[in-house]
Amino acid sequence: MIVEPAPAKINLALHVRSRRDDGYHEIETLFAFLQDGDDIRLADGPASFSVEGPFAAALAGEGDNLVTRAARAYAEAFSRPNEGALTLVKRLPVASGIGGGSADAAATLRALAKRDGVPLDEPRLFAIADALGSDVPACLFGRSALGRGRGEQLEPVDGLTGMPVLLVNPRVAVSTGPVFAAWDGRDRGPIGEGALLGRALLSRNDLEAPARSIAPVIGEALALLLDGAGTRLVRMSGSGATCFALYDRPEDRAAAARTIATVRPSWWCLESALA
């Protein structure tokens, strides 16, 4: 069996520059990956798909999803039978702005490539990822980077490996489409130059305001994180509703997690570190 991680991805910055004629948006984003997330398991056998894990129920009854589409597209691109038993271990909440289905699709492509001895930098893998969705190439790339265009034009950036991070989601699913549709259309400028954390601190997430108009509880999550000691950066990731804080010390991360578990015990929290 091949077990391929599908780590959570957070947007340290997300600038929306313009609406495009093809229905997408021109963006700039700085992103990084966590050491924790979902897993894809690939075993020999006929083509099949199953889900397990804490958030499996959210995907119950789906006839098709990014994992199965990735497997079919891989088989077609590499002229292979569509075979293999795929299991998604779903530990991350769905529609939460931290990669999710895109990370799962990218992990599926990596698992199939490893099974077949296909190099992970094979251009056909990235062509498949690009066709599956704007976020899938970033997740296939799998390292801290600056993304432009729809997010698929990738430039690696030295990361913040090992930096403690706390993710918080108020268990509200927020769909990407309505958040982008609610963006006010104002270009507030590009992401600046410099080291990753410094660039992030001087940047923003242009989708925070429209996401908060749809799910006001995002504001409460950000406020709780900002109240904690030792935060270096507090921000909403992607189109929400997951918010995160970066810390210098794991002790401060743990203290913040305990506070949130006390005041909002129903919320989802993940203590992790940047990969």
Mind listing the pLDDT tens digit for each residue in 223-260?
Answer: 999 999 999 999 999 999 999 999 999 999 999 999 99
Q: What class is the 164-273 domain? A: alpha beta
Q: What is the pLDDT at residue 61?
A: 73
CA atoms of 97 and 242, how far apart (whole Å): 6
Enumerate the domain spans of the chain. Answer: 2-156, 164-273
Residue 9 appears among annotated catalytic residues: yes
At residue 60 the predicted structure's pLDDT band, cuts being 50, 70 and 90, is confident
Q: What is the structure's pLDDT at 230? A: 97
Cα-flanking dihedrals φ and ψ of residue 273, to 5°? -145, 155
| Catalytic residue (choose from 38, 104, 135, 252) | 135
pLDDT digit string, tens, across residues 17-36: 999 999 999 999 999 999 99
Report pLDDT for 113. Answer: 98
Check if 38 is active-site.
no
The torsion of the CA quartet 168, 90, 151, 159, rounded to 10 degrees, works out to 60
Chain segment 93-131, per-residue pLDDT in tens: 999 999 999 999 999 999 999 999 999 999 999 999 999
Interstrand relation of 153-156 and 145-149 (parallel, antiparallel or unpaired)? antiparallel
HEC sequence for the chain: CEEEEEEEEEEEEEEEEEECCCCCEEEEEEEEEEEEEEEEEEEEEECEEEEECCCHHHHCCCCCCHHHHHHHHHHHHCCCCCEEEEEEECCCCCCCCCCCHHHHHHHHHHHHHHHHCCCCCCHHHHHHHHHHCCCHHHHHHCCCEEEEECCCEEEECCCCCCCEEEEEECCCCCCHHHHHHCCCCCCCCCCCCCCHHHHHHCCCECCHHHHHHHCCHHHHHHHHHHHCCCEEEEEECCCCCCEEEEECCHHHHHHHHHHHHHHCCCCEEEEEEEC
Fold equal for 2-156 and 164-273: no
pLDDT of 61-81, one tens digit each?
777 899 999 999 999 999 999
Rg (the chain; Cα; Å): 18
Asked if the model's pLDDT at residue 157 lies above 90, the reply is yes
Report pLDDT for 64. Answer: 84
What is the per-residue pLDDT across 169-191, written as a single tens digit (0 to 9) for each? 999 999 999 999 999 999 999 99
Catalytic residue among 9, 39, 104, 206: 9
Highest CATH level, class, for 2-156? alpha beta
